[in-house]
Amino acid sequence: MQTEFSNEQQLLRDVVARALRDKSPPAAVREWMATDRGYDAAVWRELGGDAGLAGIHVPEACGGAGGGPVELGIVAEEMGRTLFCGPFFASAVMAGNALIEAAEESARAELLPGVASGSVTGTLVLDDLDSPSGVGGSVRATDRGRLSGTAAMVVDAHVADLFVVVARASAGLGLYAVESGAEGLEIEPRQVVDLTRKLSRVTFADVAGRAIGEVDGETLDRLWDLMSSALAHEMIGCARRLFETTVNYTKERFQFGRPIGSFQALKHRCADLLLEIEIARALTHHSARCLAAGEGEPYAASMAKAAAADACMSAARAGIQLRGGIGFTWENDTHLWFKRAKGSEVLLGTPAIHRERMMTMLEGAA
Amino acid sequence: MTPDRIRREVSAWLEANWRVDRPLIEWREILLEGGWAAPHWPEEWYGRGFTLDQTMVVAEVFREKDVVPAAQVGPRGLASETILACGSDDQKRRFLRPILTGEHTWCQLFSEPGSGSDLAGLSTRAELEDGKWIINGQKVWNTSAHHADFGLLVARTDRDVPKHQGISYFLLDMRQPGVEARPLRQMNGHQSFNEVFMTNAVVLPEDLIGGEGNGWHVAKTTLSFERRGFSRRVRGSSLDGPKQGPIYAEYEEELRIATEPYTWYPQREGRVDLVLPRARETGAINDPATRQEIAKLICLHTGARLASDSAEARRKAGATEIIPAGSIGKLAASVIARQASHVHTMISGADAMLSGPDSAADGIVAEVLVSVPAISIAGGTDEIQRNIISERVLGMPKGYRADQGPFRDIKRNA
C-alpha cells in the first residue's frame, strides 16, 4: 500500500491547485453562489471536461483518466481549498463512484463516459444522507423499475442530467438511472446554509427508472467510504485554507501596539489547531490509500471523515473568532468556508455517526 | 561500505573475539580496541565514521548473535555525544573510554527549582577562586544522579551580561564532599529523579567544556541529542530472553540499574493498548458514550502515527521543508495520553478509586491515571511546545520579553 504521494500525484496536485487558484478566486465564488445555477458552466466545462477532472477516478475503458480514490482525493482537497463551485462532488464523487461500484458492465460502459467527460452532469439520489443503514427508507422501486418516494436533499439535482438512484425493491436495494425531464420527477431547490453547495428535494411519482445494478450492504458501505473519504479531503483543503489565512491575519492585525499573533492565547490555539489538522490530514490521505489498495483498517474512511470534520470545524470556528468582529461580517470571506465546513461536517454522517460506525466495524454493534 | 560487507566484517571479528566468560569491562576494552564499540564515532575516537544506517547494521548483527554491546543506556549517551561535539582532545581522552566500557555513569544537571522552562535563567553560580571553579546552587530532575560518577553541569559564570551569554558548561565530579544527591519522590510514588545540592563543589579548569561563557551553545548541543530520539534509546533494550554466561548477568544488572527510572514511562503515555481489552472485560464496550471516546482515541493514535511516519519518510527522502515533527509529535503524545486516561476512567468507573495488585489491570490503570500528568511537562511543557510550533513553524511573532539586559537585573524567583 502507498504511504506517500508519487511524483505524478504531486504533479496532479500542483496543476489542479494552480488552475483553481486562477479560475476560482473568492470573488468568483461569491458571484457564482448568488446565482440559481451556482457555478459557471464554462469554467466547469474547462476544468471538469477539458482538464479531465470529472473523470479523474474513472477507468480508462470508460472514458476516464484511470486514477482512483487517491487522485480523486487530491482534486477534492484542492477544490475544498478554493471552495470551487461546480458539480464535481455530485457528478464525479457521488454519481461516478456509484456507477463504478454498483452498475452492471453495460450500464457502466454506457453512462460513465458522459460523466467522465463532464458532458453529462450526474447526481446520486440517496434518501438518507446520515448513514448507509438508513438508505432505502423512502424511495421505493417496483419490480418493473417504477420509482416512488422522496429524497429530501440531493446535491446539485437542479442541474443534473442523470439521476443515479438508490431505491428499495422487493429483492433489496437497487441502482436505477433516471434522466432529467422524466415524467413524474419533481425537483425543488431548497434554501441552504452553504450557498456553494446547492441541494434540492427530489420527488418520484411513479417515475420510470432503469434498473442498472444491485446494491448489497458491502457495496453500499464501500460507496459510502469512497464518498466520505473524498469529502474528508475536501474538508482538509477547506481547513488548511482557513488555518493559513487565519494565522496570516494574526501577524498583520495590531492591537495594544503588537501583532495579535504575538499573544500566547492565540499562538497556542493555532498550534493546537495545526496538530488537529495534521492528524486529520494523515488519516484522510491514509483512507484514500486504503480504499485504493483494498487494504488497511476497514474503518479508515470513517476515521478520516470524523477527524476531518472536527478539524475543519475547529479551523472554521478559530477563523471567525481570531478575526473578531470583522470575521462575523458578510463582507469578510471567512463565513464562506465556515458554512462549507458546517455542511460537510454533517453530509454523509456526523462525526459521532462515523465514530459509532467505526466501533461497530471494530467491535460489533453495541 | 555496503551493508553486506559490514555484516561480514563484524561477524568475522566477533567470531574471533566474542566470549561469554569474560568480565564485562574486559570484553568492552576488547570491543573498543577492535573499533566496534561506537562505529558512528570518528575513527580517531574509537569509531569508524559510519552513518547511522551503517551503525544499525552492526547493532543488528550484535543482536542476532546475542553479543553484549558497549554501554549505551542512561544519560551517559548525552555525555559522550556532547564531549565528542564540543570537548577538547584531553577531555575526549579522559572521558569517552570509560563511558563506552560502562565504568562511569553520568547524569544531567540542567534544570533548577527556579528555572524550568526558562533553562537559560539558571542561577547556580560558578566562581573562579585560586584557579578552581567553585560551584554553589541546586539542580533538580536529575535522573540517575544518586549513583552517577560525573554530571553535565550548566552554571552561571557572569551575571553582568545577558542571560544566555553568562553560562558555562562543566563536567562535574559527583564523588566529592560538596555534592549531595537526594531522591525526589513523584506524585505517582516512583523515585526516578534526584535533587542535587552543590555547596562549594570544585571543578578543575580542564573540566570546563566549550570555553567560558559558551555554555548555552554546548547545552543546546546536548538538548538536540536528547530531542533526536535519544530519550527512546535511553531506555535501552534487553537481549531477548535469559542468556547463559557470566557476562550476561553483569550486563543485565547494568541495564536494570540504568532503566529502573523508566519503568513507569509506558503508563505516562496512557497505555492505549489496554483500552480495548479493558472495555471488553468490563462490558464498557457496549456503552455508546464510551464508544465515542474510544473511537476518538483510536483516531488520534492512528493519525499521529501516520503523520509521524510520513514526516520521517519525507526527512529520509531529503525534504528541506520545515517539518514540525518533533514538537508536534510531543504535543500529540500529550493529547493521546490525556484522552487514554479519560477513557480508562470512563471504563473503570468507581473502580478507578483503587490502586495496587487487585485493582484494574494489576494496578496499571491506577498508575496510568496518576502518571499521565507527567507527559505534558517532561522534556519541555506543552505550553513551550506550542510556543515553538507557533513561532518556528507558523512564523507567528515572538511575544514581549522581560529578560533582556544583564542577568543581575532580571526578576527571578526568590
Residue B99 pLDDT: 96
pLDDT digits (tens, 9 = 90+) for B121-172: 999 999 999 999 999 999 999 999 999 999 999 999 999 999 999 999 999 9
Over residues B87-112, the mean pLDDT reads 97
Q: How far apart, in Å, do the first and last CA atoms of chain A sit? A: 31
* CA separation for the pair B315, A192 (Å, rounded): 44
Structure-block grid coordinates of residue A221? 458501505
Assign B43 a pLDDT band (cuts: 50, 70, 90): very high
Question: Which whole-number Å values give the CA distances from A172 to A176, A217, B387, in the listed order?
Answer: 13, 10, 56
Q: What's the gap between Cα A167 and its chain centre? A: 21
Q: Is the pLDDT of residue A321 over 80?
A: yes
Over residues A142-154, the mean pLDDT reads 97
Contact B67, B14 (CB under 8 A): yes
Assign B188 a pLDDT band (cuts: 50, 70, 90): very high
Our CA-based measurement puts residue A324 at a distance from the nearest CA of chain B, in whole angstroms, of: 18
Assigned CATH topology for domain A122-215: Butyryl-CoA Dehydrogenase, subunit A; domain 2 (2.40.110)
pLDDT digits (tens, 9 = 90+) for A19-57: 999 999 999 999 999 999 999 999 999 999 999 999 999
Over residues B184-199, the mean pLDDT reads 96
Where do you find CATH 2.40.110.10 in chain B? 104-224
Contact of B323 with chain A, judged by CB distance below 8 Å, is answered with: no
Residue among B298, B313, B335 whose CB faces A4 most closely? B313
Over residues A298-305, the mean pLDDT reads 98
Residue A366 pLDDT: 84
Over residues B372-398, the mean pLDDT reads 94
Residue A187 pLDDT: 98
If DSSP codes are grouped into helix, strand and coil, which group holds residue A316?
A: helix
Pairing verdict, β A185-189 and B193-203? unpaired
Record: contact A279-B288, CB cut-off 8 A: no
Comparing CA positions, the residue from A336, A334, A337, A313 lying closest to residue A325 is A334
Where do you find CATH 2.40.110.10 in chain A? 122-215
Assign B52 a pLDDT band (cuts: 50, 70, 90): confident
Q: Is the pLDDT of residue B93 over 50?
A: yes
Q: Is the pLDDT of residue B256 over 80?
A: yes
Grid look-up 456553494 returns A196
Q: Is the pLDDT of residue B72 over 90?
A: no
Assign B322 a pLDDT band (cuts: 50, 70, 90): low
Whether the CA torsion B250, B253, B258, B262 is positive or negative: it is positive
* CA separation for the pair B382, B327 (Å, rounded): 9
Residue B298 pLDDT: 98
Comparing CA positions, the residue from B135, B137, B29, B142 lying closest to residue B75 is B142
Residue B242 pLDDT: 63
Could you tell me what percent of chain B has a pLDDT over 90? Answer: 83
Structure-block grid coordinates of residue B116? 524550568
Residue type present at position A321: Q
Over residues A284-311, the mean pLDDT reads 98
Instruction: Tell me the backbone φ, ψ of residue B301, rounded to 5 degrees.
Output: -65, -45
Residue among B288, B299, B390 whose CB faces A271 most closely? B390
Over residues A167-188, the mean pLDDT reads 97
Grid look-up 480508562 returns B344
For residue A365, give the chain B residue with the closest CA. Answer: B286
Contact A5, A13 (CB under 8 A): yes
Mutation pick from A70, A302, A359 vs chain B, by most beta carbons of B within 10 Å, is A359
- Please state which architecture CATH assigns to domain A218-363: Up-down Bundle (1.20)
Contact of B11 with chain A, judged by CB distance below 8 Å, is answered with: no
Assign B237 a pLDDT band (cuts: 50, 70, 90): low
pTM, to two decimals? 0.93
Element counts in chain A: helices (H) and strands (E)? 11, 10
Assign A344 a pLDDT band (cuts: 50, 70, 90): very high
Q: Is the pLDDT of residue A208 over 80?
A: yes
Record: contact A271-B310, CB cut-off 8 A: no
Our CA-based measurement puts residue A1 at a distance from the nearest CA of chain B, in whole angstroms, of: 13
Cα three-residue angle A270-A276-A282, rounded to 5 degrees: 130
- In sequence order, the 6+-apart residues with CB closer than 8 A to the CB of B411 are B402
Q: Is the pLDDT of residue B233 over 60?
A: no
- CATH superfamily for domain A7-117: Acyl-CoA dehydrogenase/oxidase, N-terminal domain (1.10.540.10)
Assign B232 a pLDDT band (cuts: 50, 70, 90): very low
- HEC states along chain B? CCHHHHHHHHHHHHHHHCCCCCCHHHHHHHHHHHCCCCCCCCHHHCCCCCCHHHHHHHHHHHHHCCCCCCCCCCCHHHHHHHHHHHCCHHHHHHHHHHHHHCCCCEEEECCECCECCCHHHCCCEEEEECCEEEEEEEEECCCCHHHCCEEEEEEECCCCCEHHHHEEEEEEECCCCCEEEEEECCCCCCCCEEEEEEEEEEECHHHEECCCCCHHHHHHHHHHHHHHHHHHHHCCCCCCCCCCCHHHHHHHHHHHHHHHHHCCHHHHCCCHHHHHHHHHHHCHHHCHHHHHHHHHHHHHHHHHHHHHHHHHHHHHCCCCCCCCHHHHHHHHHHHHHHHHHHHHHHHHHHHHHCCCCCCHHHHHHHHHHHHHHHCCCCCCCHHHHHHHHHHHHCCCCCCCCCCCCEHHHCCCCC
Beta bridge partners of B172: B151
Record: contact B386-A268, CB cut-off 8 A: yes
Where do you find CATH 1.20.140.10 in chain B? 264-393
Residue B65 pLDDT: 92
- Please state which architecture CATH assigns to domain B264-393: Up-down Bundle (1.20)
Where do you find CATH 1.10.540 in chain B? 3-91+94-99+246-260
Pick the CATH number of B104-224 from 2.40.128.50, 2.40.110.10, 3.40.50.620, 3.40.470.10: 2.40.110.10
Domain B3-91+94-99+246-260, CATH 1.10.150 — does that match? no
CB atoms within 10 A of CB A292: 21
Contact of B237 with chain A, judged by CB distance below 8 Å, is answered with: no
Structure-block grid coordinates of residue A151? 429524497
Residue B325 pLDDT: 60
Assign B224 a pLDDT band (cuts: 50, 70, 90): confident
Structure-block grid coordinates of residue A104? 452492471
Over residues B358-384, the mean pLDDT reads 95
Where do you find CATH 1.20.140.10 in chain A? 218-363
Contact A213, A171 (CB under 8 A): no
Over residues A179-183, the mean pLDDT reads 97
Q: What is the mean pLDDT of chain B?
A: 92
Q: Is the pLDDT of residue A128 over 50?
A: yes
Residue type present at position B377: I
Record: contact B288-A272, CB cut-off 8 A: no
Could you tell me what percent of chain A has a pLDDT over 70? Answer: 100
Contact B186, B141 (CB under 8 A): no
Classify the phi-psi angles of A161: left when phi > 0, otherwise alpha if psi is within -120 to 50, otherwise beta: alpha
Q: Is the pLDDT of residue B324 over 70?
A: no
Pairing verdict, β A185-189 and A258-259? unpaired
Q: Is the pLDDT of residue A336 over 70?
A: yes
Grid look-up 562535574 returns B172
Instruction: Tell me the backbone φ, ψ of residue B55, rounded to 5 degrees.
Output: -65, -35
Residue B340 pLDDT: 98
Beta bridge partners of A165: A125, A176
Contact B254, B99 (CB under 8 A): no
Assign A107 a pLDDT band (cuts: 50, 70, 90): very high
Chain A residues within an 8 Å CB radius of B385: 271
